Amino acid sequence: MSEHSTAEIRELLDSLYRVDSGRILATLIRLLGDFDLAEEAMQEAFAAALSLWPRNGVPDNPRPWLISTARFKAIDTLRRRARFDASQDELARYLETQWNSAEESNEEASVEDDRLRLIFTCCHPSLPPEAYVALTLREVCGLTTEEIAKAFLITPRTLAQRIVRAKAKIRDTPIRYEVPSPQELPERLDAVLQVIYLVFNEGYSAAAGAGVTRAELTGEAIRLGRLLTELLPEPEVIGLLSLMLLQESRHAARTSPTGELILLENQDRSLWNREQIAEGVALVERALKSHRFGSYTLQAAIAAVHAEAESTAMTDWRQIVALYNQLVRIQPSPIVELNRAVAIAMRDGPEVGLALIDAVFAHGELANYYLAHSARADMCRRLGRTAEARSSYEKALALTQQEPERQFLQERIRQLK
């Protein structure tokens, strides 16, 4: 126990909340068997810490202290409710007996599993997919409803309702609090990875200056990626973390001080974050070695080739095309085809690229995808087909609302006039 002022305690608790609330909540949900009761008990435990720690000192192990305090608070709550609802008393008694046995077998492994249980519960197939992100960010990352709503540009009311409904579904179904079986794991893990990458992309594509909160989403996604890598080091988990780190490494070089988008070929590569690149590259190598990797690892490998090149001209486009060839095989999609066409254009010239892009367009799926028109425009521009280039840039412009992208496209159109 050590002495601290209330202000220091408040700061300490804020950082504990930030770092550990997901972990504490995850364990409490297992111990109490109820999301709401667990959350409420955790809030109370933090409040109790704020009033007790300045007087009694900070416990040597704050986390177990908070968990055990929350447990007692939960039993207290049930006891109080039992005065009006007898069934609550049984529950309180049950929890108390369970307690003592839990105390003895409180091994670190099951606590770590709790966090996995929580992540998989938040992304459970019985829940509506639009609830995944909201629940994961609130329950696992400890963000508030208002913060999440702001980051995703929806009203707190809509988001709150999603969370309320999802929790009711968890309680009423009931959804078991568990890590999926090995048979289910690939599919269930895929849903979790999708959520993490969605959170990342939401932050990554946020316009510069559109608020700190959106940019923080990339940080949250990377934090989730790290957590999952630590708990469940499957190749694709590692691949996704690598992909996010490699994309994030270009953060400082992606936009000009005035908020304009800077394309990869024009970025000042000295601004790339070498530390993130080194970590990303090491991770992707680890994932590739497993020979069980999938699309995230391949995308990370492509990002790694870019990250290690000194310039667009010095980039190993042959290797990038080879990686896209693999990616097209395991994850055939018009967007991957488009990216592959762009890479082939870098290797073999814009004429080949344009033919490939037009072939993708011929399937009709990318007609409303602004990047497809923008890529086509770029090929035409490089081939000197000015009128065609301008018309494609204009189509792209009509399809995007994001301000940096719009500015970039408008500038290209202006240059072609």
Partner 1 sequence: MKYICLGYYRPENVENMSESERNAMFDECFTYDDELRKNGHFAAGEALQPANTAMTVYWKNGKVAVTDGPYAETKEQLGGILVLEARDLNHAIQLMSQHPAVKYGSLFEIRPAADLNEMIQQSEQRRRTSVAR
Binding site for partner 1 (CB under 8 A): 36, 39-40, 43-44, 47, 77, 80, 83-84, 138, 144-147, 156-157, 159-160, 163-164
Beta bridge partners, 58, equal 2
Q: Which is nearer to partner 1, 36 or 388 (CB)?
A: 36
At its nearest, how many Å lie between partner 1 and the CB of residue 41? 10
Q: Which is nearer to partner 1, 83 or 291 (CB)?
A: 83
At its nearest, how many Å lie between partner 1 and the CB of residue 124? 18
Q: Which is nearer to partner 1, 76 or 358 (CB)?
A: 76
At its nearest, how many Å lie between partner 1 and the CB of residue 110? 26
At its nearest, how many Å lie between partner 1 and the CB of residue 169? 15
Q: Which is nearer to partner 1, 166 or 346 (CB)?
A: 166
At its nearest, how many Å lie between partner 1 and the CB of residue 46? 9
At its nearest, how many Å lie between partner 1 and the CB of residue 85? 9
Q: Which is nearer to partner 1, 147 or 405 (CB)?
A: 147
At its nearest, how many Å lie between partner 1 and the CB of residue 90? 18
At its nearest, how many Å lie between partner 1 and the CB of residue 145? 4
Q: Which is nearer to partner 1, 44 or 260 (CB)?
A: 44
Tokens encoding 6: 């209330």
Beta bridge partners, 261, equal 255
Q: Which is nearer to partner 1, 77 or 213 (CB)?
A: 77
Q: Which is nearer to partner 1, 160 or 208 (CB)?
A: 160
